[in-house]
């Protein structure tokens, strides 16, 4: 989307505020007359300010949510409504967790390509699930479903992240690139281990497992939601409190330290929060590798500013809109509700590759 990056061309009828750029342009020694003989054109579309853009996406989310909740209900209203409300709640948690985690992660690691998934999170989740089926059989997955398992999985994943960060930041190798590299290597190791174990499974067990290894919005358990919301609220409040500090982190370590930010502390706190969010979302709705990347990238493009007080809500709302509108369309237009996450991953993966090829570096 074209963001107005240059001052709008000075039109003769423009108000007082618009006159200034024209005279400035003259001062810079660039030829102003060439602009005057342009063909008359339609009133130029000026991009709305960041706040308005967030509000627009917010309205879209509300519309999509209302459509999703109320349209195409056949049979019992109460039953369908309750079920959809649960799914919507899950989507809110997933969108929030992935969007916020990805934006924060990309800010503190000073890159716009890598996401928390690259730190081996998804692979760890896959390995935990696989190991469980391998040891206890496929039926164990269903038997142990419940709050305790969710909490244990989350704690394990956060523990993994915190140990990794602490080990790497406390030691002699206080180096973000090394941390990322270790994350990638561990991720690969978990993945290889998982695929090895999966080969040894019986076809039935493997079938039951594979259902778990793709993101699923529609069949998550509503009883987790209050806890999930509480976690999101707490983490969200902490991140929101740090929104200006996050802005300075965009300038890199040295500049942010120069501006009085305790960089090491911020980094640790924020990475742990990222770990909590991703771990929780993954345990709740399965791994989604490229979803966070997709919405964060879109948010940077559409917000038109670097400020986190706009980018963070934008990323969350875009994520939510993608999920709700996507689910609505898939369910009622294409009759393929289960494929939503597959499609999001597919699109996200392609965007990821395109950006990676275009930039050529991380």
Partner 1 sequence: MIQFSDLHKAYQGDTVLGPVTGAIEKGGITSIVGPNGAGKSTLLTMMGRLLDPTGGRVTIEGRDVFTTKSREMAQQLSILRQENQFTARLRVRELVAFGRFPHSQGRLTEDDHRHVGEALEFLSLTQLADRYLDQLSGGQRQRAYVAMVLAQDTDYVLLDEPLNNLDMKHSVLMMRQLRRAADELGRTIVLIIHDINFAAAHSDRIMALRDGEIVTTGTIPEIMRDEVLTDVFDTPVSVLEVDGRPVAVYYS
Binding site for partner 1 (CB under 8 A): 5, 7, 24, 27-28, 106-107, 110-112, 243-245, 247-248, 250-255, 257-262, 306
Please name which of 225, 92, 116 lies closest in space to residue 179, comparing C-alpha atoms. Answer: 116
Q: What is the CA 270 to chain-centroid distance, rounded?
A: 15
Closer Cβ to partner 1, 182 or 250, answer by number: 250
Residue 306 beta carbon to partner 1: minimum distance, rounded to whole angstroms? 3
- Return d(Cα 72, Cα 70) in angstroms, integer: 7
- Return d(Cα 315, Cα 243) in angstroms, integer: 14
Please name which of 110, 133, 73, 190 lies closest in space to residue 361, comparing C-alpha atoms. Answer: 110
| Most distant CA pair in the chain, distance | 79
Please name which of 231, 217, 247 lies closest in space to residue 319, comparing C-alpha atoms. Answer: 217
Residue 30 beta carbon to partner 1: minimum distance, rounded to whole angstroms? 11
Closer Cβ to partner 1, 49 or 252, answer by number: 252
- Return d(Cα 86, Cα 82) in angstroms, integer: 6
Checking phi first, is residue 3 left (phi over 0); if not, alpha (psi -120 to 50) or beta?
A: beta
Closer Cβ to partner 1, 37 or 172, answer by number: 172
Structure tokens at 272: 């742990």
Q: From the CB of residue 34, how many other CB atoms can be counted at a distance below 10 Å?
A: 8
Residue 24 beta carbon to partner 1: minimum distance, rounded to whole angstroms? 5
Closer Cβ to partner 1, 143 or 244, answer by number: 244
Closer Cβ to partner 1, 21 or 58, answer by number: 21
- Return d(Cα 98, Cα 72) in angstroms, integer: 29
Residue 2 beta carbon to partner 1: minimum distance, rounded to whole angstroms? 14
Residue 182 beta carbon to partner 1: minimum distance, rounded to whole angstroms? 20
Closer Cβ to partner 1, 112 or 149, answer by number: 112
Residue 179 beta carbon to partner 1: minimum distance, rounded to whole angstroms? 17
């Amino acid at each position: 989307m074209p963001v107005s990056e240059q001052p709008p061309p000075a039109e003769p009828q423009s108000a007082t505020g618009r006159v200034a750029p024209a005279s400035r342009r003259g001062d810079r020694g660039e030829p102003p007359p060439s602009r005057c003989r342009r063909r008359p054109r339609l009133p130029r579309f000026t991009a709305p300010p960041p706040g308005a853009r967030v509000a627009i996406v917010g309205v879209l989310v509300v519309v999509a949510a209302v459509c999703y909740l109320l349209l195409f209900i056949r049979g019992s209203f109460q039953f369908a409504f309750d079920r959809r409300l649960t799914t919507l709640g899950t989507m809110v948690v997933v969108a929030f967790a992935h969007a916020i985690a990805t934006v924060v992660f990309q800010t503190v690691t000073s890159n716009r390509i890598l996401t928390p998934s690259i730190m081996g999170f998804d692979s760890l989740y896959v390995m935990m699930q696989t190991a469980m089926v391998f040891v206890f059989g496929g039926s164990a997955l269903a038997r142990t479903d419940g709050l305790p398992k969710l909490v244990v999985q989350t704690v394990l994943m956060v523990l993994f992240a915190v140990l990794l960060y602490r080990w790497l930041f406390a030691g002699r190798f206080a180096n973000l690139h090394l941390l990322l590299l270790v994350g990638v290597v561990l991720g690969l190791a978990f993945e290889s281990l998982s695929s090895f174990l999966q080969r040894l499974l019986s076809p039935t067990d493997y079938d039951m497992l594979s259902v778990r290894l793709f993101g699923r919005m529609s069949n998550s358990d509503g009883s987790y939601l209050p806890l999930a919301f509480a976690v999101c609220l707490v983490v969200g409040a902490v991140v929101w409190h740090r929104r200006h500090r996050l802005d300075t982190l965009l300038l890199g370590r040295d500049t942010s330290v120069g501006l009085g930010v305790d960089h090491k502390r911020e980094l640790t706190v924020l990475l742990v929060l990222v770990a909590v969010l991703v771990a929780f979302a993954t345990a709740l709705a399965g791994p989604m590798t490229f979803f966070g990347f997709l919405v964060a990238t879109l948010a940077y493009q559409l917000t038109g500013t670097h400020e986190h007080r706009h980018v963070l809500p934008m990323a969350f709302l875009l994520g939510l809109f993608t999920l709700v509108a996507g689910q609505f369309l898939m369910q009622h237009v294409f009759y393929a509700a289960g494929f939503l996450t597959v499609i999001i991953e597919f699109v996200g993966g392609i965007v990821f590759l395109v950006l990676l090829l275009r930039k050529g570096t991380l």
